[in-house]
């Protein structure tokens, strides 16, 4: 091949953009956990295409390393006993502890896997920039398909018990006890879902893109949403007021007995109205019979 042609081909290859990498993962673990590892290998990557779109990724990057670790291993001892999986997001590593039953916000092994994979995708979308833990978890819950109506109920319960929880303090809650962590998950997931409903499904990816470009998180948030984080938070709690102010009232025993009383009063009034109508018919019938008997000739 002529040297000039080779040079032109080389320049062409350099100028072409690299092909986007699909989402891939490589699973490793001891022989005793081979069935779990095989199950994870068999999960469909298409189930996480939506997660890539949500965080604004077209290129998933290198394969994610998935470690299936037994109980008692160093990976298991690194986290509290109720944690069934976690992600070392910046390193592109997911650790699954199958001996532990998945707990909220995950209900099954596939849910847990998708949630932790989503954490890696969030980190890659942010390009190594700093993202608050609450946003990381909230996006992962939505991206991992683990957010639902149960989260709204949990968030309402959390607010009823503790009151409004500032997002600035929510990150610390993820380092607390099991109950505190569950409340933090519920609030984070509900806030991010509320954000997506108000600003569209692309807003999380836009925020992470801003962080990837070097913006502080709050500035990236404001540019993507058109409102400050403080304003978004205030609006969120105002919208949530129905759940933690009215739902407890509507489901309380006082409201229950009030409803029963009103229903009983309505039933009594309806019964009295029906009885009055029946008596009126009887009176009318008796009057008619009496008039008939008076008109009849006496034998």
- What DSSP designation does 21 have? P
Query: Is the pTM of the predicted complex or chain greater than 0.75?
Result: no
CATH entry 1.20.120 includes domain 17-250: no
State the DSSP string of 177-222. Answer: -HHHHHHHHHHHHHHHHHHHHHH-TTHHHHHHHHHHTT--HHHHHH
- What DSSP designation does 108 have? S
Domain coordinates of the chain in residue numbers?
17-250, 252-289
State the Rg of the chain over Cα.
Answer: 32
**Exposed e or buried b for every residue in 75-103, given b needs 16+ CB within 10 A?**
bbeeeeeebbbbbbbeebbbbbbbebebe
Q: What is the pLDDT of residues 137-172, one digit of tens each?
A: 999 988 876 555 454 555 555 554 555 778 888 888
- pLDDT reading at 299 higher than 80: no
Cis peptide before 105 (omega within 30 of 0): yes
Based on the number of CB atoms within 10 Å of its own CB, is 159 exposed (0-12), middle (13-18) or buried (19 or more)? Answer: buried
| Cα–Cα dist 110/9, whole Å | 45
Q: What share of the chain has pLDDT > 70, as a percent?
A: 72
- Tallying the residues shown for the chain, one arrives at 299
pLDDT for residue 12 = 40
- pLDDT reading at 192 higher than 80: yes
pLDDT for residue 293 = 59
Distance of CA 220 to the CA centre of its chain: 22
Q: What is the pLDDT of residues 279-296, one digit of tens each?
A: 777 667 667 666 655 555
Confidence of residue 253 (pLDDT cuts 50, 70, 90): low
């Amino acid at each position: 091949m002529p040297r000039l042609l080779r040079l032109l081909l080389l320049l062409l290859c350099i100028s072409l953009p690299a092909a986007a990498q699909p989402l891939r993962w490589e699973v490793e673990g001891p022989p005793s956990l081979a069935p779990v590892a095989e199950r994870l290998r068999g999960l469909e990557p298409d189930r996480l295409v939506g997660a890539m779109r949500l965080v604004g990724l077209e290129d998933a990057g290198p394969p994610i390393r998935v470690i299936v670790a037994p109980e008692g291993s160093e990976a298991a001892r690194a986290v509290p006993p109720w944690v069934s999986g976690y992600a070392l997001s910046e390193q592109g590593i997911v650790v699954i502890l199958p001996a532990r039953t998945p707990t909220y916000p995950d209900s099954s092994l596939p849910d847990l896997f998708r949630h932790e994979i989503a954490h890696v995708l969030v980190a890659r979308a942010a390009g190594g920039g700093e993202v608050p833990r609450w946003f990381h978890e909230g996006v992962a819950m939505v991206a991992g398909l683990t957010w639902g109506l149960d989260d709204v109920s949990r968030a309402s319960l959390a607010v009823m018990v503790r009151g409004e929880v500032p997002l600035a303090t929510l990150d610390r809650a993820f380092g607390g006890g099991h109950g505190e962590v569950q409340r933090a998950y519920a609030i984070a997931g509900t806030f991010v879902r509320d954000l997506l409903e108000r600003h569209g499904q692309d807003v999380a990816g836009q925020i992470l893109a801003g962080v990837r470009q070097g913006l502080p998180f709050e500035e990236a948030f404001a540019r993507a949403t058109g409102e400050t984080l403080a304003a978004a938070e205030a609006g969120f709690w105002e919208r949530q007021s129905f759940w933690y102010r009215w739902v407890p009232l509507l489901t309380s025993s006082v409201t229950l007995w009030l409803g029963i009383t009103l229903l009983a009063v309505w039933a009594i009034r309806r019964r009295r109205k029906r009885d009055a109508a029946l008596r009126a018919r009887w009176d009318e019938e008796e009057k008619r019979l009496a008039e008939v008997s008076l008109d009849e000739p006496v034998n």
